[in-house]
Structure 1
């Protein structure tokens, strides 16, 4: 792996725990009934309308509070989403650094960044939430996250030919969700015990092809 990419990945992973401990989405001080009412409304609106089409103002109005209070309790909309689905980190802490990664390196950077995160203590909370969502608790929230957040942040960078960005990102998501299912949920051996570096190196070329290569039906 190129040294620069490794340094970026390590720096990102180092800051994730610090940011999570600092922010702790969904755990600010304040009346618990107000916070829970906001979270309940947020889950309903995120599931019904998606993240992109749900505003802080709409959540506040339905919860009967001032929008400033929602920001005070939860920060940004993605932090509120993280709190609503009980994951311990702001998704943008993971996705944001990818904006600085050259498009041709994203396929390698993604698994190198995500696999160590999934193996960490923070990752256990994410895996538990994903297990619940995929089991049918509310898959619409996870679908909204993939379509509204991931596609918006990454899809526009790989939208060649025009209109292909969304499906490219979905191919990547299918590979990564498959890794989570096989390693952490189904716990298939020997895949469960493989070194994470081996998995990252193995799937990286596929991920990069999904992002920037020629795909049947997209040319």
Structure 2
């Protein structure tokens, strides 16, 4: 294994891990619901955290139909949300979680490869990374929107570790949500979960829960070195 770090690669989730966008999106969907009169409940908002782009599109279609707004295909429903959200500017740099740049730089200094595997469509990933000055931070960027199903399906992680040319046991991932943790475990990865207690879900299925992303620099060698 890489000297001073027990994994050859760290695969990061984006939303909620690198950038505190989960709560931002939670509120954005809530405002969307209020504007269109969709009646989306708090439980439904909480359940959306960490879900795939494909699941989100299906949910929007369901919410629209339930509210009597008509029956539309999931892709059309997703585009309706995107058109609505264009009027709401996202300041990604203000949402960047503490110590992200420093952690990535330190991992690279130790010879650890870093990749990104996010359920967000690639266009959204690129926009967020550019806003946070992380455009060139990752060796590999993979979008779950390019698969039939993203997290909790492990395919995105299986594809990522294959593209890196590594075995699952040589990699770990950093997640926050239940779908992400489930996908990472199903792919055979060691899963670090960035602590999240605002949405009422359990992170107990992760191998390790860390308070902040930089904590992986100490926790991984201590627990797996």
Q: Which has the higher strand share?
A: 2
Q: Flag the structure with more relative contact order, 1 or 2, with Cα contacts below 8 A and sequence separation at least 6.
A: 2
Would you call these one fold, judging by a TM-score over 0.5? Answer: no
Which structure shows the bigger proportion of residues in helix conformation?
1
